[in-house]
Structure 1
Amino acid sequence: MLSVFHPVKKLLKRAPVCVDNTLFRLHYNYTFIILTIFSLLSTSYQYFGRPIQCIVDNPSLAGVIETYCWISTTFTIPSRMTGVVGRDLIQPGVMGHIEGEDAVKHHKYYQWVPFALCFQAMLFYIPRHLWKTWEGGRIKMLATDLIMPTEEKDKRMKMLITYFQDNLLRNNFYALKFYICELLNFVNVIAQIYFMEYFLDGQFSTYGIDVLQFMEMESEIRDDPLSRVFPKMTKCTFHQYGPSGSVQKFDSMCVLPLNVINEKIFIFLWFWFLMLFILNVLWLLYRTLVVFYPTLRLYLLRCRARTSSSQDIGYICKKCLIGDWFLLYQLSKNIDPLIFKEFIIELANHLSGKHNV
């Protein structure tokens, strides 16, 4: 089964240069990988059996009925979800019913689960692709030969200081593009939750809460949300013409083995998306404070460059706008701390004019 996940292995490699942050990576890296793995799992029929298996009276029609029930829909009876299995019902939602009197719920989402998960994975990667395009390799270009001490350090240091001086007060748009991508991550999480809600016929928003409440109820009266949203056994009605031209009805029960995996996938995604939503709300509050409070930016840069002089960092921050601070903060993630300390000293001297004295 490890061969199924082999293509995902390459996605686990960390980039040598960091141009974003941990929350950003939660979206385009971890969530993207999780959704990709889940998409592969939902298509791994060789490990979980055929996607649908139906019980029919006529064995010669078994293949036809299974194919028909898979490409059309199966259904359950919502009013027969509770009771003792084997006495009150066969399985939750599966029991004899009268057409036209008992309401039925049709299930057709299972055909689209792999495609939906793959589509979601791509949506989570879009802000990352957009930021890589906008960023254009600037941090990699500036931090080259400064990630670790090298013989080219002094030459690269002068180039970096010259670049920063020449572009001082011109980096706001660079930071703005990154903040737009962070906002897109938040919007994407909300859109994904609404997409799941639509995909599961309005049952995703309360899915996790229903599962937690279900565990505390009595077995005979509790309505299993796992079986309601992802039934393992359903019913299917197939019609064909008989020898005399009359319509014959075949009412079969169908087992959906993959729903054992689907129910775990979507309960995990419910909690994962909830976590992403909460983290993004907190992060946007943090980002708002960063944008509007220069004192916080000064504190963050000091924490990032602890070996550097607080006075030098304070002087540089007074000369910088939000975009310049953002560029410095990104560089501090990718430059060796000792080299970054030297860079801060030289940059402060250049900005104050001491270097020319």
Structure 2
Amino acid sequence: DDDWVDRLNHKASVLAFFMFAILVSTKQYVGDQIHCWVPGHFTGNYEEYTNKICWVSNTYHKTFDEDIPKPENPKKLITYYQWVPLFLMIQALMFYVPCLLWRSMNGKAGVQIKQIVQAGQDMHDNENKEKKLRYMVRQMDRYLGHYRDHTHGCLSRVKHFVNKRCMILCGRKYGNYLIALYIVTKTMYAVNSVGQLFLLDVFLG
């Protein structure tokens, strides 16, 4: 019930960010987090303590030909590196949210999308072609018949009038629930892909 673009977002991207998060976390919490330049007489626990202080106190970029900045004229701090694993996990979650929305909501349409798509893919089998076709037609007929907009009763007429005036013409009773949900899901994929570029720019400062 998805195409290669959807799978690129909710499978490949999520897997990539998850693997990067594991690699960075392993480096931070299993290996040495940071190596600081400490005085020569600092050994053992002193050096380890200094490295931990450097890790939680942020850093700044300085080349070897620059002087160490004075406290009254500090340089711009690099504050993001401690949060990289968490940020990568958040990115992975954001890429999966549209898929989660689609899979949790399309079942409420009253039609089994996954089974219909699978039946369509199996149409090349001549033995079950007629059976698959009847199944697909029966599912679509049941879907369209069940959610046809019957305006019997005063309350139904009032709701239909209000929805029409407010341009609320999307929903199961209008027969376009899946189309609207599909468009929303695709829009979320696009907005997420573009929005994460801006989010990454803010995160990196």
TM-score, with normalisation over the residues of structure 1? 0.42
Aligned equivalents of 1:29 and 1:194: distance in 2?
Answer: 22
Would you say the 8 A contact 2:10–2:95 is kept in 1? yes
Would you say the 8 A contact 1:28–1:128 is kept in 2? yes
User: How far does residue 194 in structure 1 lie from its aligned partner after superposition?
Assistant: 2.3
Aligned equivalents of 2:7 and 2:31: distance in 1?
Answer: 34
Give the number of equivalent residue pairs.
168
Q: List runs of 5+ in structure 2 lacking aligned partners.
A: 149-173
Question: Could you tell me which residue of structure 2 aligns to residue 190 of structure 1?
Answer: 194
Question: Could you tell me which residue of structure 1 aligns to residue 43 of structure 2?
Answer: 59
Amino acid at match of 2:68: G
Amino acid at match of 1:99: P
Would you say the 8 A contact 1:135–1:174 is kept in 2? yes
Would you say the 8 A contact 1:55–1:62 is kept in 2? no
Aligned equivalents of 1:114 and 1:22: distance in 2?
Answer: 27
Offset from partner CA, 1:135-175 (integer Å, 9 cap, x none)? 22722233555543275543343232233334447642111
Q: How does 1:146-157 map to 2 (within 5 A)?
A: 147-148=121-122, 149=125, 152-157=128-133
Question: Could you tell me which residue of structure 1 aligns to residue 169 of structure 2?
Answer: none
Question: Could you tell me which residue of structure 2 aligns to residue 105 of structure 1?
Answer: 76
RMSD: 2.7
TM-score, with normalisation over the residues of structure 2? 0.70
Would you say the 8 A contact 1:109–1:199 is kept in 2? yes
Question: Could you tell me which residue of structure 2 aligns to residue 261 of structure 1?
Answer: none
Offset from partner CA, 1:34-79 (integer Å, 9 cap, x none)? 2112112212329x951211222222521111111112222235xx
Aligned equivalents of 1:154 and 1:107: distance in 2?
Answer: 65
Secondary structure, aligned partner of 2:36: strand
- Structure 2 counterpart of 1:29, from 6, 11, 21: 11
- Structure 1 counterpart of 2:20, from 33, 38, 53: 38
Offset from partner CA, 1:61-118 (integer Å, 9 cap, x none)? 21111111112222235xxx5xxx5xx34xxxxx433331x43121221110011001
Secondary structure, aligned partner of 1:158: helix
Q: List runs of 5+ in structure 1 lacking aligned partners.
A: 1-18, 90-94, 202-357
- Structure 1 counterpart of 2:106, from 135, 146, 156: 135
Would you say the 8 A contact 2:119–2:136 is kept in 1? no
Higher-strand-fraction structure: 1
Q: How does 1:283-298 map to 2 (within 5 A)?
A: none
Amino acid at match of 1:59: T
Aligned equivalents of 2:135 and 2:191: distance in 1?
Answer: 38
Offset from partner CA, 1:271-328 (integer Å, 9 cap, x none)? xxxxxxxxxxxxxxxxxxxxxxxxxxxxxxxxxxxxxxxxxxxxxxxxxxxxxxxxxx
Amino acid at match of 2:193: V
* 1:177 and 2:181 aligned: yes
Would you say the 8 A contact 1:146–1:153 is kept in 2? no
Question: Could you tell me which residue of structure 2 aligns to residue 307 of structure 1?
Answer: none
Q: 1:132 to 1:72 in 2, by over 3 A?
A: same
| % same residue | 26
Q: How does 1:1-357 map to 2 (within 5 A)?
A: 19-45=1-27, 49-57=31-39, 58-59=42-43, 61-77=46-62, 88-89=65-66, 95-100=67-72, 102-136=73-107, 138-143=112-117, 147-148=121-122, 149=125, 152-168=128-144, 171-201=175-205
User: How far does residue 23 in structure 1 lie from its aligned partner after superposition?
Assistant: 1.9
User: How far does residue 190 in structure 1 lie from its aligned partner after superposition?
Assistant: 2.9
Would you say the 8 A contact 2:60–2:77 is kept in 1? yes
Offset from partner CA, 1:191-216 (integer Å, 9 cap, x none)? 31222122111xxxxxxxxxxxxxxx
Aligned equivalents of 1:190 and 1:151: distance in 2?
Answer: 46
